[in-house]
């Protein structure tokens, strides 16, 4: 019985590993977003990850577009790619709730079973919690998301 469960866990881990590598090799929404209304940079000196996140919020405060550029380790790039994929179409409030759920998954002792069903494919990064040094890589883009939403970018306030 336990052998079957272990096997399933291994399969899931392999699936997650492939999803992370796929997003690291072919990041979605990579590049500058000229129409961005909000932007923020993230730097993780421990690993050398640097990125800039771009968001375009419409008049209803919904995220119409999101992108990022920069460079870093596979985890940081995959996490930024999964982030942009996940938040497009969300309201700013929903994106901040997702930020809270995602970082709780990696940083808190909170009951993961409560948080995870809302995360969808972002669960692929849940294995990072076993490697505390990599948690900053996985959450870097998310902290940039939180800063970007909380303050308008300089280019958006020129009027
Ligand atoms: Zn990193």
Domain boundaries, the chain: 3-157
Task: Determine the topology of domain 3-157 in CATH.
Answer: Sufe protein. Chain: A (3.90.1010)
Give me the pLDDT at residue 6, please. 65
How many Cβ atoms are within 10 Å of 95's Cβ, its own excluded?
26
Report the alpha-carbon distance of residue 8 to residue 14 in Å, rounded: 10
Q: For residue 75, how far is its CA from the centre of ligand 1 (angstroms)?
A: 6
Chain-centroid distance of CA 140 in Å reads: 8
Residues having C-beta closer than 5 Å to ion ligand 1: 47, 49, 73, 76, 137
Q: For residue 43, how far is its CA from the centre of ligand 1 (angstroms)?
A: 10
The residue that leads in pLDDT, 16 or 64, is: 64
Q: Is the dihedral of CA 74, 80, 83, 88 positive or negative?
A: negative
Q: For residue 39, how far is its CA from the centre of ligand 1 (angstroms)?
A: 20
111: three-class secondary structure by DSSP: coil
Question: Per residue in 54-66, pLDDT tens?
Answer: 999 999 999 999 9
Q: Give the pLDDT mean for 139-149.
A: 94
């Amino acid at each position: 019985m336990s052998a079957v469960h272990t096997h399933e866990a291994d399969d899931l881990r392999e699936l997650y590993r492939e999803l992370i590598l796929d997003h690291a090799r072919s990041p979605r929404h990579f590049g500058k977003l000229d129409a961005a209304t909000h932007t923020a940079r993230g730097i993780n000196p421990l690993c050398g990850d640097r990125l800039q996140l771009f968001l375009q919020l419409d008049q209803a405060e919904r995220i119409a577009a999101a992108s990022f550029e920069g460079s870093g380790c596979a985890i940081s790039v995959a996490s930024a790619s999964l982030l942009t994929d996940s938040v497009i179409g969300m309201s700013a409030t929903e994106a901040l709730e997702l930020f809270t759920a995602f970082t709780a998954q990696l940083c808190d002792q909170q009951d993961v079973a409560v948080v995870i069903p809302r995360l969808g494919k972002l669960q692929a990064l849940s294995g990072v919690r076993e490697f505390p040094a990599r948690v900053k890589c996985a959450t870097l883009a998310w902290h940039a998301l939180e800063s970007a939403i909380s303050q308008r970018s300089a280019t958006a306030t020129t009027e």
